[in-house]
Structure 1
Amino acid sequence: MSLPAYADYKCSGIKWLGNVPRHWPIYALKRAVDGCKNGLWGEEPDGENDIAVIRVADFERSFATVGLDKLTYRSITPKEKESRLIKLGDLLIEKSGGGEKTLVGCVVLFKHDFEAVTSNFVARMRPLIGFDSQFLCYAFGCLYGGRVNYPSVKQVTGIQNLDAESYLQEFFCFPTPSEQTQIARFLDHETARIDTLIEEQQRLVELLKEKRQAVISHAVTKGLDPTVPMKDSGVEWLGEVPAHWTVTKLKFVTDQVVDCPHETPIYDPDGDYLVIRTADIDQGVLKPDRMYRLDREQYTHRTRRMILGKNDVVYSREGERWGHAALIPKADLYALGQRMMQLRVCDGICPEFFMYQLNSVATYRQGEVDTVGATAPHVNISTVINYCLMRPGVSEQRKIARYLNKILGGLDCLLGESLEMKGLLQERRSALISAAVTGKIDVRSWQPPDWKQTPVQEFEEVL
């Protein structure tokens, strides 16, 4: 089923917006909301004036809502609270924060009915009479996806700040209140069904990652032959291992263990060299397409301790992705980013087998015991060099590495397909929202189908 376009359009005069329905007026966003009321952080809870403070961390960006899993409570005086209370239907906008992949300015809808205020990084926008809060939330999502907020973003000491007054000067098209409500109703229904498909793909991704991890861990701790005699390794996380394998430590199978330079490198988008950060590595897989670049001078500085050679292993020891390792495929190209280590194995050790061991659950658990830091967990080099590892004969190491390359290659294909499908569904979700809130499709006559499982509505682009 295809959704129709409106009968008559006009030029909006805004390049990114294009044509809009003729009867939709165009005016600044500030005419739809009662400004931005900044929040505050308050004091430590005192048991008397404690109230929920909504942070950017509470934003569920995928669903444009506020999550309740980890609410923070702070002491806010009655006077401070009075003008800052948020209520059901308010829009919350991120005014400070952001990051490399999450530009500041995300807007979510507060769908709850309890007393709360926003933190100092979040502001409240209250829809004016005649504006549907859910429609506005979808509209701001469309603006955010199109980076319309970008000109109003200021960068200060690594933190992005949104000039809300400037942002609300941007123009948008607004249908009648009844159309706003109908568009929101349509999008609630359709995005919910797309979200279900996205969640299914995400579950599949997680299952494939778990399978990948299990295959690696079993191969490097139990071997490939289920009939060989086993012995107790003497290490809690390893359990029984093949009787002919030797239990050793990382420091005895490596020639070199080098920590990264601790200062942040100066990146050059046109540089000839790649810097490996924790975000660029995932269970044995390097992701060069994500990597930042360095010029010759920065590369030389970053590799002054040791040049990353082919078959060296890089290991992440800090952050959300600590414990991930990967093999360097080519010399004279890569440098260590922050929180990364470089390891070079001894003769008689297969680099691929060693890399897979570092990615196993048994090795991760050894580091997990000694991780320190709550916000940025990291494992110390002294812990890493004392990891207990298995050492079968080098020919068996190579056989296990070849087996894992083959099996993981198949799993990675499935994983790639699932991630691609998830990406396509997310793109479709964004496109559907954009088409509806900018009037490229007419949903005034739309009604939810009687049956529960229906195909996602098709829509027609109007130039």
Structure 2
Amino acid sequence: MSFPEYPDYKGSGVDWLDEIPEHWKVIAAKRGISVLTDFTANGSFASLAENVEYQSSGYARLIRMTDLRQNLETEGVWVDENAYRYLEKSSLTGGELLMASVGSVGLIYLMPEVDYPASLAPNMYLLKTNTSLLSKFFYWSLLSEGGQSQILQVATTTAQPKLNKDNVRSIVLALPTVQEQTKIVRFLDHETARIDALIVEQQGLIGLLKEKRQAAISHAVTNGLDTTVPMKDSGVEWVGEVPAHWNVGTLRWYATIQGGVAKGKDYEGRETVLMPYLRVANVQNGFVDLSEVKEISVLESEVERYSLRAGDVLMNEGGDNDKLGRGTVWQGQITPCLHQNHVFAIRPNNSLTAEWLATLTQSEQARFYFFLNSKQSTNLASISASNVMSLALPLPPVSEQQQILSYLDQHRAWHEQLVEVATSTVELLKERRSALISAAVTGKIDVRSWLPPASAPTQELEREAV
């Protein structure tokens, strides 16, 4: 879909804006906005309401960027009525334009409507526009490439980026009439919603493809490829039935486990060597991430004890639930290389291929086992070496293991190709969204005659993105 240009343009006097429509103006934001901060700053709130604490419930909610990112679905922090009466100066009801002032500068949100008292949290600005500038037009201008670039340029950086009020007031924008702003806002609301819907659709497809990949692995490592073979009860509830000629045994029957080196050992007065070692962050689902390999000091006599061998299966002892127990085969990319004590090295014997074990750890059945036998804490989990070695293995003959793995490799290549296409489509749609916003708020396209179609087929937009 293409849009017309304006009939006449003039120089803007601003390099990044280039030319703007003849009847548009260039203004600094200070001519169209006032900038309010939260009223918990500078000790004034503390002096007014001594001993006030943020709470998990209360009379009024303080709106943070964290809450807005999740559409206010977080529990949030609250204050009592006495505190809110002071904070009413920056009260929020819905539709207000909010900007991060510290940290994630460049984040802009429109406040959703709420049915409870709310006020601005620290590290945010409330931007109020006058009659010459629509709040929603300013919102789209700030989200444009030029708006974001200016915010990052004017932000001061110490420990983290920070915007003061003068930084915000200095932002430059191209300004049409209020009537034209209204049309641009309607156009962008409609067109970005279409693009967002397509992005969600493609992201859903990526999720579905990953589920199908998981299901294919889970079925293959417990049922095999031949649907005609007799089946038997594995004797393990979470495994179910397996082909009758397969063995089922615990991992300790078919492999040994090697623990890793612990950080923080005291080697004072003893000679050490500096060695590369793998951490939990290096062991990903199905591959080893070697983009950052750290080093650790150990005694020379400990190098052999903690060294990895090509063919070891690396499994994580702890971390987030999605990292727990996930396995991948170490191919000896770095020699010698040690491993941290939170990464297990499993060394299979001749009846178990490393690739079979690593693939099995990606199955739904193994994920369930690791979760069931882990110790859970807030957002973290861990599993013991003993529980890892008690993992039940459906085990076909080595030749059949290789046949199944070959099939799964072909399936993986097909799956990755589809995911890559969908991921590329998402990125192209995001680029188109950004370009459309920038073109509309700088007058590079003329949408004054644009009308929302009676129906908005997404197929056309998707074809353009691809």
Q: What TM-score bracket applies, with the shorter chain setting the length? A: 0.7 to 0.9
1:320 Cα deviation after fit: 6.5
- Residue among 383, 389, 392 paired with 2:393: 389
Identical counterparts, % of pairs: 33
Structure 2 counterpart SS, 1:215:
helix
Structure 2 counterpart SS, 1:241:
strand
1:238 and 2:239 equivalent? Answer: yes
Larger Rg: 2
Number of the residue aligned with 1:58: 67
1:366 Cα deviation after fit: 1.8
Structure 1 pair 239–139 and aligned structure 2 pair: CA distance change class (3 A): same
Q: Report the number of matched residues.
A: 427
Structure 2 counterpart SS, 1:439:
coil
Number of the residue aligned with 2:357: 354
Instruction: Check conservation: 1:37, 1:123, Cα contact below 8 A.
Output: yes
Structure 1 pair 67–368 and aligned structure 2 pair: CA distance change class (3 A): same
Structure 1 counterpart SS, 2:320:
coil
Number of the residue aligned with 1:399: 403
Instruction: Check conservation: 1:216, 1:359, Cα contact below 8 A.
Output: yes
Give matches, 1:167-186, under 5 Å.
Answer: 167-168=167-168, 169-186=170-187
Aligned-partner Cα distance in 2 for 1:226–1:175 = 68
Aligned-partner Cα distance in 2 for 1:318–1:341 = 10
Instruction: Check conservation: 2:25, 2:174, Cα contact below 8 A.
Output: yes
Aligned-partner Cα distance in 1 for 2:321–2:24 = 46
Aligned-partner Cα distance in 2 for 1:211–1:453 = 28
* AA matched with 1:81: L
TM-score, normalisation: structure 1? 0.79
1:377 and 2:380 equivalent? Answer: yes
Deviates more, 1:247-256 or 1:434-443: 247-256
Aligned-partner Cα distance in 2 for 1:458–1:131 = 35
* AA matched with 1:18: D
1:112 Cα deviation after fit: 1.2
Number of the residue aligned with 1:37: 37
Instruction: Check conservation: 1:26, 1:171, Cα contact below 8 A.
Output: yes
1:131 Cα deviation after fit: 1.9
Number of the residue aligned with 1:28: 28
C-alpha distance after superposition, 1:254-302 (max 9, x if no partner): 4444458669xxxxxxxxx998774983x4256x6xx6445xxx44669
1:423 and 2:427 equivalent? Answer: yes
Aligned-partner Cα distance in 1 for 2:175–2:338 = 50
1:9 Cα deviation after fit: 3.0
- Residue among 286, 310, 320 paired with 1:284: 286
Instruction: Check conservation: 2:307, 2:339, Cα contact below 8 A.
Output: no
1:190 Cα deviation after fit: 0.9
Deviates more, 1:385-394 or 1:105-114: 385-394
1:187 Cα deviation after fit: 0.7
Structure 1 counterpart SS, 2:232:
strand
Aligned-partner Cα distance in 2 for 1:325–1:187 = 46
Structure 2 counterpart SS, 1:372:
strand
Aligned-partner Cα distance in 1 for 2:177–2:338 = 56
Deviates more, 1:299-308 or 1:199-208: 299-308
Aligned CA-pair RMSD: 3.6
Aligned-partner Cα distance in 1 for 2:214–2:339 = 25
Deviates more, 1:141-150 or 1:223-232: 141-150
Number of the residue aligned with 2:95: 89
Instruction: Check conservation: 2:205, 2:422, Cα contact below 8 A.
Output: yes
Structure 1 pair 256–389 and aligned structure 2 pair: CA distance change class (3 A): same
Aligned-partner Cα distance in 2 for 1:274–1:431 = 44
Instruction: Check conservation: 1:3, 1:457, Cα contact below 8 A.
Output: no
Structure 1 pair 372–423 and aligned structure 2 pair: CA distance change class (3 A): same
Instruction: Check conservation: 1:232, 1:239, Cα contact below 8 A.
Output: yes
Aligned-partner Cα distance in 1 for 2:94–2:388 = 50
Q: Mind listing any 5+ residue stretches in structure 2 that lack a counterpart? A: 41-51, 265-275
Structure 1 counterpart SS, 2:196:
helix
Structure 1 pair 119–161 and aligned structure 2 pair: CA distance change class (3 A): farther
1:357 Cα deviation after fit: 0.9
Q: More helix by proportion, 1 or 2? A: 2
Deviates more, 1:130-139 or 1:208-217: 130-139
